[in-house]
Amino acid sequence: MIEPVFRKSSEPLHGLIALVLLAAFAVFRSVGYGTEHAPTPLTGTPEATPLPPSGWTGPTSLYQQPTYDPYSTQPSMSAPSLLSPPAGTGQATPGASEMQPYHGQPTLGAPQAAPGFGSQTPPALFPQTPYSPFPGAGGGDLSPLRLFQNVRLSDTWLYGSSPGDLQIHDIYLTTTLAFPNFMWTGQPWFVSPGFGLHLWDDRPYEPPDDPRVRLPSRAYSAFLDLGWQSDPQNVFGVELSGRLGVFSDFDKVKSDSFRPKGVALMRYNLTPNLAVKAGVEYLNRVDVKILPAGGFVWTPNPQTHWEVYFPQPRLANYLTTIGTRELWWYVAGEYGGGVWTVTLRDSDPSDPDNIPGRTLMDVNDLRVSLGIELNQPGARNLSQGGLFLEAGYVFEREVVLLAFPDENFKIGDTFMVRGGIAF
């Protein structure tokens, strides 16, 4: 069994675990755990299926109870897949009824989005950028697939004013390219290059009250994200992503500056509205190497999208429509921070015991936030022309230094403001 690798106990993650478990309890109470629900026909309830008109001599299929398989796939010319339904059992999926969030009228012929994914416009991966398709993003954005999906700009500000604080600005610029039908799977392969600038305003106590080392004023992240998932219509599937990049203050770039990361998840669609995921996240930090990852994605209706997923839960609900865009609000949590190779500054030049030098450094924290997102109808992430704004609380903050473990130190709790735009 794969377990998280911690430098010490895992108490800092208990807040996110509690949030995931609480949301899971609420969802399973709502859906009636262990109860089977018969599909509701498009015209009435199962108890009141209409009969053919008197004298009707034509086909009666429109007046019969639907018997289609909600997990079947459309016939395709792609190569066979072990994750696809067995030959001879798949059926063409008829148009499903989908309730519009503003009118409540059924729309016939629209393909039903798979639970937990389905978006053709994912943003960059991992928590350093606002949203992440692997795991959890999605929600039925069925816009045509384009080579260049979008360009995104975001800024995260962690406030710090008093001695002992660390004020942070994380600025990211990313884009996404989509290559359809990767390896004849019928699913696109997403490639997202990106660049991050990290501005650190380190405010330690003056020596000799706190003669700890000083952090550099800035660091950088240059990376390439890769993502692919199997057909979300299948009962079983996989979601894979990886990040290859250099994370350093660029004072010197060493082999440790190259930090590969990744996510591997198995997905099981319990119902058309509920998908369960389980796997691992490879963070590759000094303090935490691997975290177990898992949870479920619940979309009971087009107005609700709950990603009850550790370590990045996100519970989103539709609010209103502004022009042609949908406005959503959400509550989210994440294991924040990152890892870089940096050169430490002297804590006190007059102190003969100062230990400046080169080391791998973690900045770790936990974050909870409340935000709003204005986006295309049906898109559960920043697609073309979207924007978001959120505010949150950051706690359990710490700096971990690989070469100088005795110099590790805690940082005070603070608040966070984050916003971004895609075009």
Task: Tell me the DSSP string of 332-389.
Answer: EEEEEEEEEEEEPBPS-TT-TT----EEEEEEEEEEEEEEEEEESTT-SS--TT-EEE
Q: With contact defined as beta carbons under 8 Å apart, do 112 and 136 qualify?
A: no
How much is the pTM? 0.69
Q: How confident is the model at residue 353 (pLDDT cuts 50, 70, 90)?
A: low
**In degrees, to the nearest 5, what angle opens at C-alpha 194 toward C-alphas 193 and 196?**
165
pLDDT of residue 145: 58
Q: Does the pLDDT at position 406 exceed 70?
A: yes
Instruction: Name 406's Cβ contacts closer than 8 Å, sequence gap at least 6.
Output: none
Pairing of strands 274-282, 414-422: unpaired
**Alpha carbon of residue 422 to chain centroid:** 16
Could you tell me which of 297, 322, 310 has the C-alpha nearest to residue 380? 297
Give the tokens for residue 276.
């369960």
C-alpha span between 67 and 12 (Å, rounded): 49
Query: Among the listed ranges 3-7, 98-102, 128-132, 415-419, which one has the minimum average pLDDT value?
Result: 98-102
pLDDT digits (tens, 9 = 90+) for 93-110: 333 333 333 333 333 333
Tokens 């995104």 belong to residue: 152
Mean pLDDT of 52-76: 43
pLDDT of residue 377: 84
pLDDT digits (tens, 9 = 90+) for 160-174: 877 778 999 999 999
H-helix or E-strand spanning residue 415: strand 414-422
Do you find a cis peptide bond into 311, omega within 30 degrees of 0? yes
C-alpha span between 234 and 231 (Å, rounded): 6
H-helix or E-strand spanning residue 243: strand 236-248
Mean pLDDT of 62-67: 43
Q: How confident is the model at residue 16 (pLDDT cuts 50, 70, 90)?
A: low
C-alpha span between 379 and 333 (Å, rounded): 20
Q: With contact defined as beta carbons under 8 Å apart, do 274 and 296 qualify?
A: yes
Q: Does the pLDDT at position 335 exceed 90?
A: yes
Mean pLDDT of 62-88: 39
Q: With contact defined as beta carbons under 8 Å apart, do 224 and 191 qualify?
A: yes
Could you tell me which of 238, 337, 233 has the C-alpha nearest to residue 279? 238
Q: Does the pLDDT at position 73 exceed 90?
A: no
Query: Among the listed ranges 99-103, 139-143, 258-262, 406-410, which one has the minimum average pLDDT value?
Result: 99-103
Give the tokens for residue 122.
């994912």
Most confident of 134-138, 213-217, 412-416: 412-416
Residues for the chain: how many in total?
423
pLDDT digits (tens, 9 = 90+) for 17-58: 655 566 655 555 554 444 444 444 444 444 444 555 555 454
Instruction: Name 290's Cβ contacts closer than 8 Å, sequence gap at least 6.
Output: 2, 3, 4, 5, 280, 281, 282, 283
pLDDT of residue 283: 95
Q: Does the pLDDT at position 92 exceed 80?
A: no
pLDDT of residue 177: 87
